[in-house]
Structure 1
Amino acid sequence: MSFPVRRHRRLRSSATLRNMVRETSLSVNDLIYPIFVAEGSNIREEIPSMPGIYHWSLDRLEEELREVTKLGIPAILLFGVPAEKDECGTSAHMESGIVQRAIRLIKEKAPHLLVVADTCLCQFTDHGHCGVVEQHEHKEATVDNDASLELLVKTAVSQAQAGADIIAPSNMMDGFVQAIRSGLDEAGFESVPILSYAVKYASAFYGPFRDAAHSSPQFGDRRTYQMDPGNAREALREAESDVVEGADMLMVKPGLAYLDIVRMLKDQFDLPVAVYNVSAEYAMVKAAAANGWIDEKAVILETMTAFKRAGADLILTYFAKDVARFLREPSNQ
């Protein structure tokens, strides 16, 4: 009787056996949960395009911190929504800025929670760009790379002074890692690591985040400093620059459409690789689940597994609390 030479199904015959031979595993320790803090009081305001994600005022932030720590999530990524903005994003580096005050509060209320500070200017500038805008007489304004670096350094140092455990610059200015590393070292923060948004694409997947952070550009777009979605080899050049300049970890953003880039960085460099499961990736799943079109839990866990399989060591995701809950449930796979 003829039969298959190899019977691969033998190792799939039971849940126990499948669990034992699984190549890729997911843990709560892989997760970083983004949080938006805003000026004001008594604010717990759901972001319409991101169901389950909220703006928090500092007087209510402890509610979110308690839930995050109870679920065992080890780290958060902090974004601030200021009350006032100006052309240079001054409040991004003020001691009394919303992010700096939030960091100090988190370190008081949840000292074991790792605080990752997003280091950018777009939420704090009145024009919505990630740096200093340079005006031109006969053509559209542009972002001044080197002038922006000075403000980004001040922002990173102020975040470290407030108690941030990790600085995560997301601005995509040339030379930003070297500038921030030098600034942190000179200020006495040699031990504070940099999680670089090394490969950040000019993506259509950021829409809900820009609603949440109130950071949409008021003119033009960000294609002169964020990467073209059609480029892969450029990602290696960007990442290599950050490695040489002193990055401790590398990030790819967005996630799902760029799993090939995650794998490229994992294979090419020996630093930890993070992936950002961004706002539209989150919103699409939530919308489909609300309409009953998908099994939300199964899709989320499959997505997280895909990130890990592609090579991600860390996953920044708005699903972090959902994933943490799912991982506590008895396995039914």
Structure 2
Amino acid sequence: MFPDHRPRRLRTTPAMRRLVAETSLEPRQLVLPMFVADDISAPRPISSLPGVVQHTQESLLVAAAEAIEAGVGGLMLFGVPGHRDAVGSGADDPDGVLNQALASLRAEFGDDTVLMADTCLDEFTDHGHCGVLSVDANGRQRIDNDATLQRYVDMALAQAEAGAHVLGPSGMMDGQVGAIRAALDAAGFRHTSILAYSAKYASALYGPFREAVGSTLTGDRKTYQQDAANRRESIREVSLDLAEGADMVMVKPASLYLDVLREVADISDVPVAAYQVSGEYAMICAAAEKGWIDKDAMILESLTSIRRAGADIVLTYWAAEVAARLSR
């Protein structure tokens, strides 16, 4: 009797749905981005990221311990310095806020988790760009790609020395992975990994992040981050980073770029990460606050969709919360 095929048989119970699920979401696949700031005496809430804070050095250790206990795969650290200048000198200062935090976390947790560091200048420059500015022959300010590479090298070496397991060059400068890999190897940091932000788009979804790091940026980053209209460009960027020695590659943001994520996963022979960025987080929080969506269900659905599209690793501000839920 028609119908001969009844796919609904495999959806009849929660146990059946678990048995045949094609995509899994596990705590080890989640990485928690964290912010650590100078000149604060207590964690400072970030208004556009409900539940996320700028940490003190002390509160960072407590929150990191909780996340590790929940089972997250790693922590991604961003620094919020008290002083900024044109070249982001605080980025490679051993006593700077980010390197100090990395050293404290490594001393406390050793190899119990994967410590990742944002290897970019935007938090440390007074102009808020991800690189060093120069003036061209027509008197216009530009991001000087090759001068920026040297600053990335300085920053990478400082972060490796501080104890980072993984460096995350996110500035989208041409040749950044190759420059950092060569410098790390020459300095004896051959076991330090590089997570390349290979396909990072100039997205409107970064607004809350700029509050989180106290960004001083005016204008945009469209001369170095990718145009949202472009897909093939991402494959070229990923291929170049792989050729330069990237150990992992990243697509950022995640949810609006699942097509790109799928294609990157198809060509990559290294693990693929995706970053569920601040705007993605904030939109879900805002809709849930209005009572328009089920927040917990939406969090799991959004993360599962990122995994389904091909991400091996997902960076999300819900990492610790979701890891705890999955573990239970």
TM-score range, shorter chain: over 0.9
Tell me the distance in 2 between the aligned counterparts of 1:249 and 1:328.
26
Letter in 2 for 1:168: G
* Match in the other structure for 1:120: 120
* Offset of residue 299 of structure 1: 0.3
* Match in the other structure for 2:259: 260
Letter in 2 for 1:159: Q
Counterpart mapping for 1:78-227 below 5 A: 78-111=77-110, 112-136=112-136, 138-218=138-218, 220-227=219-226
> Percentage identity across aligned positions?
47
Letter in 2 for 1:74: G
Tell me the distance in 2 between the aligned counterparts of 1:184 and 1:5.
61
* Offset of residue 227 of structure 1: 0.3
* Match in the other structure for 1:322: 321
Tell me the distance in 2 between the aligned counterparts of 1:155 and 1:313.
27
Q: Is the 8 A contact 1:80 1:213 kept in 2?
A: yes
* Offset of residue 66 of structure 1: 2.4
* Match in the other structure for 2:49: 50
Tell me the distance in 2 between the aligned counterparts of 1:41 and 1:267.
44
Q: Is the 8 A contact 2:126 2:216 kept in 1?
A: no
Q: Is the 8 A contact 1:42 1:60 kept in 2?
A: no
* Offset of residue 109 of structure 1: 2.1
Tell me the distance in 2 between the aligned counterparts of 1:237 and 1:135.
28
Letter in 1 for 2:62: E
* Offset of residue 203 of structure 1: 0.4
Tell me the distance in 1 between the aligned counterparts of 2:327 and 2:29.
14
* Match in the other structure for 2:312: 313
Tell me the distance in 2 between the aligned counterparts of 1:319 and 1:61.
16
- Say what the alpha-carbon RMSD is for the aligned residues: 1.2
Tell me the distance in 2 between the aligned counterparts of 1:307 and 1:317.
11
Q: Tell me, which stretches of 5 or more residues in structure 1 are unaligned?
A: none
Q: Is the 8 A contact 1:116 1:164 kept in 2?
A: yes
- Larger deviation, residues 311-320 vs 69-78: 69-78
* Offset of residue 7 of structure 1: 0.8
Q: Give the 3-state SS of the residue equivalent to 1:11 in structure 2.
A: helix
Q: Is the 8 A contact 1:41 1:58 kept in 2?
A: no
Tell me the distance in 1 between the aligned counterparts of 2:306 and 2:59.
32
Q: Give the 3-state SS of the residue equivalent to 2:76 in structure 1.
A: strand
Letter in 2 for 1:115: L
Q: Is the 8 A contact 1:87 1:132 kept in 2?
A: yes
Q: Give the 3-state SS of the residue equivalent to 2:71 in structure 1.
A: coil
Tell me the distance in 2 between the aligned counterparts of 1:69 and 1:267.
30
Change over 3 Å in CA distance of 1:280–1:216 after alignment to 2 = farther
Q: Is the 8 A contact 2:27 2:327 kept in 1?
A: no
- Larger deviation, residues 167-176 vs 65-74: 65-74
- Larger deviation, residues 114-123 vs 6-15: 6-15
Q: Give the 3-state SS of the residue equivalent to 1:190 in structure 2.
A: coil
Tell me the distance in 2 between the aligned counterparts of 1:269 and 1:34.
24
Tell me the distance in 2 between the aligned counterparts of 1:235 and 1:86.
31
- Larger deviation, residues 202-211 vs 283-292: 283-292
Letter in 1 for 2:47: P
Q: Tell me, which stretches of 5 or more residues in structure 2 are unaligned?
A: none
Q: Give the 3-state SS of the residue equivalent to 1:78 in structure 2.
A: strand
* Match in the other structure for 1:29: 28
Counterpart mapping for 1:37-76 below 5 A: 37-76=36-75
Q: Is the 8 A contact 1:266 1:273 kept in 2?
A: yes
Q: Is the 8 A contact 1:41 1:57 kept in 2?
A: yes
* Offset of residue 41 of structure 1: 4.5
Q: Is the 8 A contact 1:65 1:110 kept in 2?
A: no
- Residues 140-187 of structure 1: per-residue CA shift (max 9 Å, x gap): 311000000000001001000000000110010000000000010111
Matched pairs, number:
327
